[in-house]
Amino acid sequence: MTVFGESHGPAVAVVIDGCPAGLQLAIEDIQVELDRRMPPDPNLTSARREKDEVQILSGIFEGFTTGAPVAILAMNRDVRSQDYEKLKFVARPGHADYPTRIKFGSFNDLRGGGRASGRMTVPITMAGAIAKKLLRTIGVEVFAHTVQIHTVKVDRYLPSETIKRNAYSNSVRCADQETAEKMKEAIMKTRGEGDSLGGVVECIAEGVPPGVGEPFFDSLDADLAKVTFSIPAVKGFEVGLGFQASAVKGSENNDSYTVREGRVETLTNNAGGILGGLSNGMPVVVRVAFKPPSSIPKEQKTVNLREMKDTTVQVTGRHDPCIVPKAVPVVEAAVAIVLIDHCLRTGKIPRVLGRKPVDEVSERAKPQQPH
């Protein structure tokens, strides 16, 4: 997968290699995921409201993937580059401006954060839509929800069905309505103070067959960490019990096995569905921590890189006061992309999915053999 584009360039896009032939795919399959990336309450997100109309450029013929690279793009239309003029030499604390300038000099396109913009999660989400649809062909479902904004946490167990039903029913993407209200209030209050908040997204993949992954460097958990860490603003990653596993005893951490309806299952899922880099057949459960976005109107100390002098900056313009609600479908996409890669490697999904309906017509059209 190659993602390309910049925040204020003409478009953001993705090219996906190795997508099996024969997946029925319409623009709506991708559009629905992009629309989920834009929470309905405008007070909780940046004032930049892109329509993100999907265009498929290659890899689809007569409604099915062909096995050729799939190229998809969304144009950038709601662009206001003048906001970035004053940031040319003033590095925003917490953003990618300073190290990017050191690496690429002043060639870097800093408008809207350039390549380090949250806009780059649009192509990830588009690729994820295809990965999710492919995973559904083998009964794998990937879903995520917000479990924490700043110090407001979901503090009770939520069954999968509740998460699937409720997560997208509110603007913070939290499956517990009461907590969702508190999260919303926290974001609004902090935005009013000219500041921002971070949080945690939990993602679950159900139906992953056992034995998917690799035992070493490309282990399932290592790849999940790598791809989710590629999402801007991600600062932490956990599988299953995660960091908490370091504070319990072996007897408490081990997931005991049992046989249920002829299948091996575990009684608990502290491993988060992954052991030795391979799926164990239980739901894959990961949690991803997002920092508070750095572009805030509150005054902060920084430097002017041309004058090499200390100065201050107040980042105005259009920015998210909290990334987490937008990031929920992005985390789903990242997890689905890793799972589909490993399912293809392990041969759980074939390179050609069945036969095109038209082949059946031609079968029937064949001359009948005399009896």
Ligand X SMILES: Cc1cc2nc3c(=O)[nH]c(=O)nc-3n(C[C@H](O)[C@H](O)[C@H](O)COP(=O)(O)O)c2cc1C
Q: Which is nearer to ligand X, 213 or 293 (CB)?
A: 293
- Are 295 and 306 within 8 A, CB to CB? no
The CB-of-158 to ligand X minimum distance in angstroms stands at 23
**Contacts of ligand X in 53-112 (CB under 6 A):** 95-96
Task: Return left, alpha or beta for 178; rule: phi > 0 is left, psi -120 to 50 is alpha, else beta.
Answer: alpha
Q: Which is nearer to ligand X, 19 or 323 (CB)?
A: 323
- Are 8 and 112 within 8 A, CB to CB? yes
Question: How far is C-alpha 128 from the chain's CA centre?
Answer: 7
According to DSSP, residue 19 is labeled: P
N residues, the chain: 371
Q: Which is nearer to ligand X, 100 or 170 (CB)?
A: 100
Regarding 39 and contact with ligand X (CB under 6 A), the answer is: no
Among the candidate windows 25-33, 61-69, 229-237, 337-345, which touches ligand X by CB under 6 A?
229-237
Structure token pair of residue 38: 């834009």
- Are 11 and 119 within 8 A, CB to CB? no
The CB-of-165 to ligand X minimum distance in angstroms stands at 24
The CB-of-323 to ligand X minimum distance in angstroms stands at 4
Choose, by CB under 6 A, the member of 9, 273, 293, 329 that binds ligand X.
293
Q: Which of 44, 291, 327, 324 is nearest to 184 (CA)?
A: 44
Regarding 46 and contact with ligand X (CB under 6 A), the answer is: yes
Choose, by CB under 6 A, the member of 8, 173, 191, 319 that binds ligand X.
319
**CA-to-CA distance for 190 and 321, rounded, in angstroms?**
8
Q: Which of 254, 242, 339 is nearest to 289 (CA)?
A: 242
The CB-of-291 to ligand X minimum distance in angstroms stands at 6
Among the candidate windows 59-67, 226-234, 238-246, 274-282, which touches ligand X by CB under 6 A?
226-234
Rg of the chain taking only CA atoms, in angstroms: 23
**Contacts of ligand X in 158-197 (CB under 6 A):** none
Binding site for ligand X (CB under 6 A): 46, 95-96, 113, 116-118, 121, 231-233, 291, 293-295, 319-320, 323, 326-327, 330
